[in-house]
Amino acid sequence: MSLGEMSWNWQLWIDMWAAGMAGGAYLVAFLANKFSGGKYTSLFRTAVLTGVPLAIIGVFFLIIDLGTPIWAWHLFVKFLPVSVMSMGTWTLFAWLIISFVMIILWIVEWDANRNCDKYSAGVVNFVKKFDGLLAWGGFIFAILLMTYTGVLLASTTQALWSSTLLLPSLFVSSATATGVAILIVMTMILNKINEGRGSGWTFSEDLIGKLSKSLMGVIIVEAVVLIAYAVWLALAGDAGNEAFKILVSGDLAIVFWALVVGLGMVIPLALLFLTKGRNALMVITTSSACVLLGGLALRAVITIGGQL
Amino acid sequence: MELNRRDFLRASGAGLGGLFLFGAVSDDVLMARNVKKMPLKKQVGETTSICPYCGVGCSLLMTVENGSMVHIEGDPDSPINEGSLCSKGASLYQLANNEERVTTAMHRGPGASGWTDVSWDSAVSDIAGKIKATRDSGWIEKNSGGGIVNRTESIASIGSVFLNSEEAYLLSKMLRSLGLVYIENEARICVSAAVAADTETVGRGPMSNHWIDFENSDCFIFIGGNMAESFPVAFKWVVKAQEKGAKLIHVDTRFTRTSAKCDHYAQVRPGTDIAFMGGVIRYVIDDMESNPDNYNMTYVREYTNASYLVNPDFSGPADTLDGLFSGWDGSKYDKATWAFQKDADQADGIKKDPTLTDPNCVFQLLKNHYARYTDDKVVEITGADRNTFQEICQTYAATGKAGKAGAIVFSSSACQHSTGTQTVRTFGILQLLLGNLGVAGGGLDGITGASNGLGCTLQGLVNHWGPGAGSVRPPSGGEQGFDSYGATKGRFASILKAWWGDVDHNTSYDYFPKRDGDYSWQPLFKAIDDGIIKGLICWGMNPMVSGPNSTATKEALSKLDWILVVDLWETETAAFWKTEAGSNPSDINTDVFFLPAAHALEKEGSICNTCRWNQWRYKGSDAPGDARSDLEIVNDLVISLKGLYAGQSDKNADAINKLTWDYGTPPDVHAVTKEMNGYDLTTGKLLSSPGALKADGTTSCGNWLWCGMYTENGNMAARRGTDDASGIGLFSNWGWAWPLNRRIMYNRASVDLDGNPWDSEQPVLQWDSDSEKWLGDVADGGAAPINKGGGRPFIMKPEGRGYIFGPGRPDGPFPEHYEAWESPVSNSMSSQQNNPAIKSWETTAKGDVANYPIVATTHRMVEHLHTGAVTRRIPWLVEAVPDMFIEMSNELAGEKGIENGDKVVVSSARGSIEAKALVTTRIKPSQPSGVHHINMPWNWGYMGPSKGGSANTLTARMGDPNTGIPEFRSFLCDVRRAD
Amino acid sequence: MEKAILYDSSKCTACRGCQVACKSWNEHEAEETTSQGSYENPEELSPETWVKMRFIETERNGKFAWLFARRACMHCTDASCSIVCPTGAILKTDEGFVHIDQEWCIGCGNCVQACPFDVPHKDHHHTGTAMKCTGCTSTGLNRQDAGMAPACVTTCPTGALKFGNRDELIEEANQRVADLKARGMSNANLYGKDELGGLHVMYILDDTVEAYGLPEDPQVASSTVIPKWLTGVATAGVIAALPLWFVFKRKQELEARTKGGA
Ligand SMILES: Nc1nc2c(c(=O)[nH]1)N[C@H]1C(S)=C(S)[C@@H](COP(=O)(O)OP(=O)(O)OC[C@H]3O[C@@H](n4cnc5c(=O)[nH]c(N)nc54)[C@H](O)[C@@H]3O)O[C@H]1N2
Ligand SMILES: Nc1nc2c(c(=O)[nH]1)N[C@H]1C(S)=C(S)[C@@H](COP(=O)(O)OP(=O)(O)OC[C@H]3O[C@@H](n4cnc5c(=O)[nH]c(N)nc54)[C@H](O)[C@@H]3O)O[C@H]1N2
Ligand code: SF4
Ligand code: SF4
Ligand code: SF4
Ligand code: SF4
Ligand code: SF4
Ligand SMILES: [Mo]
């Protein structure tokens, strides 16, 4: 089947990549914040503020790729648990609602700090507690958001996608990797913007160091999952083996090895490893950028490969 | 059909255990949508007509809204097709709605490079003028012997087999009243060989049984036929027979969609069917002699001429004459030695040996003749697989038992050889030996291919037939005066009264043009080439693509003064002068007239399918623009001609002035059908049977075969009775089968000498001694059973017996294998390479094996009709079969370095064309000879949306000696990649 | 009352009446095609071509055989297309026929990817919606509703296509399979009785399912969707637990301890 005839094209790569990244950033920032006893709330807020536009961009591309975009609202007339895409759409919707509400709460909190008597103590207290609750809600939906794209492709008849159970985990690991990468990039950008202006929105080198270490860790997990995925695929009957060959030695082999594996994993891992300890910001940023590109390449290779 | 929510939920939920069991979500939320209940936007129609394509005669329902066709599908009430239509029939909507249709009369002047649209009336008067001028200038009142002939040889007419019977009848009436003798249609180049062969063997040409009767058959041989593709819906009845245990055999040059359903398939080299069938006949004779109880010896003895004794001086290829029969004088046979021995004591005066053992009896001569067709010989010549051949012999011989029935189904593919007639003769001989004629489930079947092949041809659209075929053949130059007319006077007189009602038939006898010589298809085109014929009327035919050697056809057409094409589209024939045809318009001075016709679903009238069933067609949609029915076009032309001839008395002008022509304007088709049926002129009443026809001018009848179709009881062809009293699928109340609504011909051969059926389960006839009448089908020849003094079953043969020994043929009383005119091998049966009486009109040299080593043959596709003039303009059919292609074996493709799907060039001594290669395992090189052959469809031409090379660019103007039918099915070619 | 179409490959002569009759009744255009070295055209199903015939050249017990296979929607009971459809645009009639609602489908293409028989196709050029055989239940062209058999069944010359009560057809089919076996076609079988919860287009095959290029044991596309969700979520857990926990939580404790202990 030639590219033109595929029913899932580049718009879907971008949607899966962006939504995955948004979910990944949320997950990483949320856990970083939780594991460090609330030290990195600004990181968490950055993750949400980055994730929301990314998710919206993802949905936008998905909608314009629909056969009848003006009827996209039909997705929200029914809640169909049996349809992965329906589940995915509602998950995305829920995650966005939660994020918006949190952002509004943060604005209220920010406003309260500026003129402390504007809100009663009860309100402020309620905002803090509700914010914490929403964060957990957002966390659960973030995980579903990262997973749904993998499950969507996996519940079809295309061998590359459905012959193993690991596509969701491959997409989740890729989402997390791109999540960390985007966080690093955002922290760099914010630090640069707020350098002289002394507003609270900057990030310590220590945090960036931890993020880069996390990135190394997640890339390793992603590599492990990819290897497991490839092996399982190769052993999953003729169809699976056929799909494996397309990926590894077929038409998409160059893109797979160069961009997905090389650019997306090996180079960033090597860069980070070589510069361990010394927080070489430039190296960290480039490796993050590589991870981002690699993540997009992975979505493209998998989507095309499944339909060849 | 309310959406079933339970169903939906149960199915989707159960499928995967409902991941997130949000039970709280109610149905309504999930089921916001229902399948909208809306009435049908188009209804299935009520108006019925008959499909215009092949001879099965499928009835269809048309939905028409204010003159335009909305929908067409099969008519469930028809016992023939029961609502089915094949791909062509199912695509008829696109025939009814097609912007390729020509909608105005057109004219192209000499040398002009394009058409000019002209008004209808001016076109008609110009054409009438041209006809009159050419007729009168070339008028022949007397022949060389001084006899009155009143004919013109300067105008010829070809076509059609697609008009309604009434239209063909009026066309024949017009052409004969003008004095034309060069009158031919597709039948000549289609199945004329079968007509000649079957007339020799059983006395009549067309199919003997009918489609629904196939369900009664125990075994079929498809040979020189591809029934699943050429009579696709009728194959329904073969499948029903197969379901009841019938065995199917296909003998073909490639594995086809028919072979896919068969129990036995034998591949043969093109042009070797006589060798194959000769072997089967030999097997049957040997088996008959060793186990006569397996065969119906009474049938063979009493109903065939197997017992006749032949002149002892007779000898043939099996004796000393190396491929020839006795009496060959170098150019033709002196048949003295073929005569039967006389015996005054015999009622029919012929000496016989009922024991069939006398060496001079037909049976022994037959045995002696085919003894040479051993298994080895058959395999060597045909390349067929030995075991398969033996299986086929055993399987088909089993139908020889009384009560068993086998059918041989074939069509033009068996006929279009230089040995075509003798090929079909082998089928007739085998069926007579096995007692398979006249019985239910037996017969010589298929044959006529086009939707109204019989209905048109039998109106006299072939030069040697009048309206009613051979028994009313046009008089010859020697038959001066009605009394000297040699054929059936009563029927011919009735024609004369139908055509010239106010004139005494003895006078009008001379109005009818008399023939001296052969005016058939190939001589016709030679006469055009020789400048004898100046004007050609081409009515519903496309000879540029369907005639042999297209290049020669184009050269001939270019020599015409004028040509009139009456068709639905700008066909290859209408545009032979255009650059698309490879012509230079300025070099071609032919005046070309084009009159657009209505097609079958746009007019009313009757049509006669392959098995002689006449069915009535009602008008569906309106014809586009100025196009009108052929009935109206003939009517307009005759009225215009009468205007021109008014007052003229010389050159047989009376034949036109006094021509009875009062059908009204627009002409009433019922009036024409009634004229064909005939009147008792003394009472003015419609006749009810041809028996009433008189030679004294007191009856009129346009066509005796149609007498009884439109009687005082009404239009029999329009009957739609679906009851079948016979129990064997005769459906005698559906439509009307000529003659006399008889459904199975020679049916008195289905009973023994006392009138009791051989097969009590499927009796066609049963003699009721109480009422002294036959029960069941209309008896073929009403006489009582033979033991009660009645005649024998084959009433059209002199002694009422089927002719195994057929002395009437110019190329031998028994079929003998000869190689095709162009063949890669020498004849291993004798040193006589070709049919000694072969006829040739080919001017280019024969292709030699060195340059053209590959045998080629042609075939049809179920999705296309003939030259594709119609079907290449139907998008749904072009989608299914878009390009010209050839089918070739993997082995040949390997040798030539051709891959599947490559473009190739196919060339013969006469020209070359491009095509796609379809490399397939369904064709294998012949073993042991190793000869390669290819098969190709011939449906493409240079006009229309889907263009392609015409296979007939490659074929030769060679002909079978009996009818001149071209050798379309075996010639030499070469194939190479087109890079 | 469940209905079905029964296709009998042993009676089909590939006359392609069905392919044309479907286009005539459902008012579909012809596609641009070229000969690809076989009788098969168009090459694939499409929004305009809802049924086509496949021509398979093969050998069968030493003899040449030419198999003809109908290719169209099988109207599955467990219809992957309707299961994965995010808008519920794929509905099922009481008789069991699956129908894409052209006024609700958003053309997301999920059904195209999920069908075990590759049947639905998206109409990229005109409506954008997914299309496939509706069993002649399309809105305004609903033959079944009007008590008529589908157009392809009506036109079929040889009885290769039948339409009627599903159970009766199963009975008839089993009898036919027995007849075919008696005629020496040992591989004859009935396909579609049980597959995917039972298909509403069943095939009598005179050769193996594999020879006819049909999936041996087709699965609903989302039959393993739960474990797939779980592996995804588990990976998120693994990532959370290992690298992130290791980097943030443990490092946090180490720092606390060294600060405390130092
Ligand atoms: N779809 C369709 N149906 C038609 C027509 C049409 O144009 N299209 N035309 C109608 C008409 S007018 C006619 S006359 C009939 C013709 O009907 P048929 O003669 O049955 O059809 P063909 O395809 O011309 O030839 C039948 C088979 O003969 C094979 N063949 C070729 N040469 C030889 C040979 O030398 N020996 C043997 N044994 N077989 C050979 C071909 O491979 C082909 O499969 O069809 C009628 N029906
Ligand atoms: N090589 C090769 N050549 C062959 C054959 C073969 O097998 N091989 N087969 C031969 C046989 S069997 C036959 S029958 C011939 C067929 O040869 P043709 O009859 O020349 O072929 P068609 O394409 O059917 O041409 C019929 C024409 O009549 C027109 N027509 C249709 N309906 C009507 C109508 O109602 N009125 C008018 N006025 N015109 C109408 C159509 O548009 C078409 O142009 O071909 C013969 N030629
Ligand atoms: S082409 Fe022949 S078989 Fe097909 S629908 Fe027409 S009449 Fe019937
Ligand atoms: S209409 Fe019937 S016989 Fe013809 S191709 Fe379709 S299923 Fe086969
Ligand atoms: S065959 Fe495919 S499109 Fe048809 S019902 Fe089954 S899953 Fe849906
Ligand atoms: S393309 Fe239409 S029918 Fe198919 S899954 Fe998407 S919304 Fe449903
Ligand atoms: S059931 Fe109707 S829509 Fe489906 S293939 Fe047959 S004719 Fe076409
Ligand atoms: Mo013909």
What is the torsional sign of CA B586, B592, B596, B597? negative
Contact between residue B170 and residue B635 where contact means Cβ atoms under 8 Å apart: yes
What pLDDT is stored for residue B26 in this prediction?
A: 37
Asked if residue A96 has pLDDT above 50, the reply is yes
| Gap from CA of B894 to ligand 4 centroid (Å) | 33
pLDDT digits (tens, 9 = 90+) for B816-868: 999 999 999 999 999 999 999 999 999 999 999 999 999 999 999 999 999 99
Q: How confident is the model at residue A204 (pLDDT cuts 50, 70, 90)?
A: confident
- Tell me which residue of B110, B432, B397 sits closest to B280, measured CA to CA: B397
Q: What is the mean pLDDT of residues B964-974?
A: 97
- DSSP summary character for residue B822: S
CB-count burial class (<10 Å; 0-12, 13-18, 19+) for B24: exposed
**Chain B hits for C10, Cβ within 8 Å:** 261
Taking only the tens place, the pLDDT of each residue in A135-182 is 999 999 999 999 999 999 999 999 999 999 999 999 999 999 999 999
Residue A279: the pLDDT is 61
Phi, psi of C57 (to 5 degrees): -90, 125
Average pLDDT value for residue range B264-280: 98
CB C114 near ligand 6, within 6 Å:
no
Residue B18 to residue A81, Cβ atoms within 8 A: yes
Residue written as token pair 């697609």: B162
**Of A84, A156, A214, Cβ closest to residue C243:** A214
Q: Answer yes or no: is pLDDT of B19 > 80.
A: no
Shortest Cα–Cα distance, B28 to chain A (Å): 9
| pLDDT of A224 higher than 50 | yes
Ligand 4 contacts (CB < 6 A) are: C 12-18, 53, 70, 155-158, 160-161
Say if residue B9's pLDDT is above 50. Answer: no
Low-confidence ranges of chain C (pLDDT < 50): 262
**Over 70: is that where the pLDDT of A287 sits?**
yes
The residues near A90 (Cβ < 8 Å, ≥ 6 apart) are A76, A79
The alpha-helical segments, DSSP class H, found in A164-204 are: 167-193
Confidence of residue A210 (pLDDT cuts 50, 70, 90): confident
pLDDT at residue A194, rounded to an integer = 82
B305 and B803 in contact (C-beta within 8 Å)? yes
Question: Atom 25 (ligand 2): residue with closest C-alpha?
Answer: B541
Contact yes or no for B91 and C20 at CB 8 A? yes
| pLDDT range class, residue B24, cuts 50, 70, 90 | very low
- The strand pair at B139-142 and B591-596 is best described as unpaired
Give the percent of chain B with pLDDT over 90. Answer: 95
* Residues present in chain A in total: 308
Q: Which atom of ligand 7 is nearest to the CA of C138?
A: 3
Supply the pTM of this predicted model: 0.95
Query: Over B916-976, what HEC string results?
Result: EEEEECCCCCCCCCCCCEEEEECCCCCCCCCCCCCHHHCCCCEECCCCCCECCCCEEEEEE
A128: confidence class by pLDDT, cuts 50, 70, 90: confident
For residues A270-296, give the mean pLDDT.
86
Distance in Å from the first CA to the final CA of chain C: 82
Check A217 against C247: CB less than 8 A apart. Answer: yes
Q: Which residues pair with C100 in a beta bridge?
A: C90
Comparing CB atoms, the residue among C112, C129, C242 nearest residue A68 is: C129
pLDDT, residue A199, reads 65
DSSP B341: P
| Nearest C-alpha in A relative to C228 | A165
Question: What pLDDT is recorded for position A273?
Answer: 85
Confidence class for position B6, pLDDT limits 50, 70, 90: very low
**What digits encode the pLDDT tens for the residues B713-756?**
999 999 999 999 999 999 999 999 999 999 999 999 999 999 99
Residue B2: what pLDDT? 38
The subunits that touch chain A, with at least 3 C-beta pairs less than 8 Å apart, are B, C
Q: How far is the CA of B411 from the centre of ligand 8 (A)?
A: 8
The pLDDT of residue B12 is 41
User: Helix A267-274 crosses helix A281-307 at what angle (to 10 degrees)?
Assistant: 160
Contact B460, B770 (CB under 8 A): no
Tens of pLDDT, residues B599-656: 999 999 999 999 999 999 999 999 999 999 999 999 999 999 999 999 999 999 999 9
Q: pLDDT category, B894, cuts 50, 70, 90?
A: very high
**pLDDT exceeds 50 at position A48:** yes
Mean pLDDT of the B55-62 span = 98
What is the tens place of the pLDDT at every residue in B83-102? Answer: 999 999 999 999 999 999 99
User: Which residue, chain included where needed, has tokens 């207290």?
Assistant: A125
The pLDDT confidence band at residue B27, using thresholds 50, 70 and 90, is very low
- State whether C155 and B73 contact (CB < 8 Å): yes
Show the 3-state SS of B365-408: HHHHHHCCCCHHHHHHHHCCCHHHHHHHHHHHHHHHCCCCCEEE
**Average of per-residue pLDDT values in chain B:** 94
- The answer to whether the CB atoms of C223 and B93 lie below 8 A apart is no
Q: What ligand 7 atom has the least distance to the C-alpha of C25?
A: 7
Residue numbers in B near A87 (CB within 8 A): 19-20
Of C7, C10, C5, C45, the closest CA to residue C28 belongs to C45
Mutate to test the pocket of ligand 4, among C22, C153, C158, C205 (most ligand atoms within 8 A of CB): C158
DSSP character at residue A34: H
* Ligand 2 pocket residue status of B189, Cβ below 6 Å: yes
| pLDDT tops 80 at residue B577 | yes
Say if residue B764's pLDDT is above 70.
Answer: yes
CB–CB of C90/C100 below 8 Å? yes
Distance CA A71, CA A59 (A): 14
Predicted local distance difference test score (pLDDT) of residue B21? 37
Chains with ≥3 Cβ pairs under 8 A against B?
A, C
Helix axes B630-645, B165-177, angle to 10 degrees: 20
Contact B85 C157 (CB under 8 A): yes
Helix or strand (DSSP H, E) at B466: none
Distance of residue A115 Cα from the nearest chain C Cα, in angstroms = 34
Averaged pLDDT, B393-409:
97
- Residue B466 in this model has a pLDDT that exceeds 50: yes
Distance from CA of A25 to the nearest CA of C (A): 12
User: Any idea which residue has 């050609």 for tokens?
Assistant: B536
Res C252: pLDDT = 64
Provide the 3-class DSSP secondary structure of residue B807. Answer: coil
Residues B773-802 pLDDT 10s: 999 999 998 889 999 999 999 999 999 999
Q: Which two tokens stand for residue B407?
A: 């059918």
CA of B634 to the centre of ligand 8 (A): 24
Burial of B90 from C-beta contacts in 10 A (0-12 / 13-18 / 19+): buried
Distance from the Cα of C44 to chain B's closest Cα (Å) equals 12
For ligand 2, the distance from its centroid to the CA atom of residue B596, given in whole angstroms, is: 16
pLDDT over threshold 80, residue A220: yes
Q: Share the mean pLDDT of chain A.
A: 90
Strand partners, B265: B250
